Amino acid sequence: MAEIHALAYAGFGVSDLDKWQWLATEIIGMQVAQRDAQGMTLRMDEYAQRFFLEQNPIDDILVAGWQFRSEQDLEQYVAELREKGVAVEQLSDELLARRKVEKAYSCQDPNGFSHEFFFGHREAGLNDVFRSKVLKGGFVTGDLGIGHILPFAKNGPQTVNFYKDVLKLRISDYIREEVKPGMVVDATFFHTATGRHHSIATAQAPTPKVLNHFMVQVQNMDDVGLAYDRCIKAGVPIILELGHHPNDKTFSFYAQTPSGFNFEMGWGGLVIDDQNWEVKAFDKMSDWGHKRNIVL
């Protein structure tokens, strides 16, 4: 059975490339691979590209890129999507070159962005080692992918069914928390075959933006605290202060990007072994910390 290996890249439409370059390199610790008037590509490891930013006033997510181990697995997966009635298109040679992959297809998410399915992620040159200006360690990527994204759902049940039954992502767990009287956040978390606790999660919310946040994980716990201090010093808005999640066991904080959605920087996330995993429901997003600095 063909299934997704990992969330290997993501693309955002952003209105201010200069501010994003500063945030990505000086605060988060990524490396610019390429930049021109139309956009920018960012590295986190040996791959030539992990995030891409396109000059676009949308200031939101454009693409989630899902990796497969082989062309055979990719073609089988795409055939299954088409059998389910999903409109799937093959990416042009021009887009393949921009994505830095060998072969890819795309379909639309119910909430207004694209899912791209690919194999053959290009690596940077042997002498082009990833270098961060600010990290003591590196990012946790490899088989686990870039981290995770949390897009909001216009229709929660429809979106959950799309991720579970159409994309064939595996449910990790649920969190249902009353964040203020009468307002319950109902979030569902999904993982891929390689087991990062979640590569995508979703919750229904009345918001103009699709993306709530993306998350990157670092190898060294100190890099979370150091990035938090860099945000404070530079005046980057902190959305959730340092804290800990009960479901994926991640120590993290959340801050705002120049596009208005957030990034989470974390350490210590769980990797799921499906043979021994029990899906649970939690009643709080954080078991300590993560004090909110912006009122809902």
Q: Tokens for 69? A: 């181990």
pTM for the model:
0.96
Domains and CATH numbers, the chain: 6-119 (3.10.180.10), 142-289 (3.10.180.10)
| pLDDT value of residue 294 | 66
Strand order through the sheet with 238-244: 280-282, 170-180, 183-191, 200-204, 148-153, 211-217, 262-267, 251-256, 238-244, 288-289
Q: What are the residue ranges of helices labelled H in the chain?
A: 17-22, 71-83, 93-99, 156-161, 221-234
Write down the residue that tokens 């006033």 correspond to.
57
Cα–Cα dist 258/15, whole Å = 8
Per-residue confidence in pLDDT tens, the chain, 296 aa: 799 999 999 999 999 999 999 999 999 999 999 999 999 999 999 999 999 999 999 999 999 999 999 999 999 999 999 999 999 999 999 999 999 999 999 999 999 999 999 999 999 987 889 999 999 999 999 999 999 999 999 999 999 999 999 999 999 999 998 877 877 789 999 999 999 999 999 999 888 999 999 999 999 999 999 999 999 999 999 999 999 999 999 999 999 999 999 999 999 999 999 999 999 999 999 999 999 986 54
| pLDDT value of residue 209 | 95
| pLDDT value of residue 206 | 81
Cα–Cα dist 176/154, whole Å = 17
Cα–Cα dist 106/118, whole Å = 9
